[in-house]
Structure 1
């Protein structure tokens, strides 16, 4: 996790926490040429694992065989054959509300996102042997930033 906002790299931070009022140059937010898939999820609807699964299923257009559990989420995020893209960005708004009803799932959730990011960054079996960025942006209100960063810091420090 870092304060430097680089959403389009396979190197460095894969997870970013920013406030809604973050000031960034527009050029930093525009993806490089190619196909970018952005899944915009609402953390206010992700208070428990079912909400997490529903948001990903809807926004990433998961196939009907999606199993509605953590291993299935991990598998689908590491597949994404139905979404051809040069880079993936997961934007979770209202990030302070994610899994607030079931905090024990928080580590599983971040681990799932980390595994997806690591899978896509690995150039093995990727087109032209080049890793594909899969990054996560957690967006929250300014008064929630410290808490959200604290919640993710333990997980990010372990990976």
Structure 2
């Protein structure tokens, strides 16, 4: 059984999984969905990096795929809030597959850095209990599977740290 399938229930590192092969990402997506098809608490989706080439299109793609609430404000603060607190859909395990990651915020390095910070923040939030007043979220497995080119891997390694990532 593939590594990502075995790690989905874990709250331990690595949380970010890489491949340089888009077919491998798609096969992992299919495998996860096949293995966990009877697990109503599993949420998976494929984010299309090609639809996230700038900040606005990134917000639209994530909002659509992650079912952000109608009040989502289409700015980084609102994105981070929805991304770290999305209980819609209600699940107990999350795996986001990001295809063509190297297309995200393609011509804006600063926006890409902000996006990577949001991903890192979300990972840190999901693995601990979060008390949001009326709602307490238990620690929740949250994994990201990324298809990107090797040039971007160095930048992502620096952001997440080598211990939090693995090659699949």
C-alpha RMSD of the superposition = 3.0
Cα deviation digits, residues 61-113 of structure 1 (max 9, x gap): 11111010111011001221331101111111111211112121122111111
Q: In structure 2, how many angstroms separate the alpha carbons of the residues matched to 1:13 and 1:96?
A: 20
Any unmatched runs of 5+ in structure 2?
none
- Give ranges in structure 1 of 5+ residues lacking alignment: none
SS in 2 for 1:78: helix
Give yes or no for contact 2:66–2:88 (8 Å, CA) kept in 1.
no
Within 1, Cα distance between the matches of 2:94 and 2:77? 20
Question: 1:56: which partner in 2?
Answer: 62
Supply the distance in 2 between the matched residues of 1:129 and 1:104 (Cα, whole angstroms): 31
Query: So what's the TM-score if we normalise by structure 1?
Result: 0.80
Render the CA deviation track for 1:5-29: whole Å, top value 9, x for unaligned: 4344221022111122449899x73
Residues 14 and 114 in structure 1, CA contact (< 8 A), matched pair in contact too: no
Alignment of 1:24-103 (within 5 A): 29=32, 30-31=35-36, 33-103=39-109
TM-score w.r.t. length of structure 2: 0.76
Describe the SS at the equivalent of 1:40.
strand
CA distance in 1, matches of 2:113, 2:91: 27
Equivalent residue number for residue 117 of structure 1: 123
State the alpha-carbon separation in 1 of the partners of residues 45 and 115 from structure 2.
16
Q: 1:35 to 1:107 in 2, by over 3 A?
A: same
Q: Shift in Å at residue 57 of structure 1?
A: 0.8
Q: Is the 8 A contact 2:22 2:147 kept in 1?
A: yes
Secondary structure of 2:119 counterpart: helix
Match of 1:20 in 2: 22
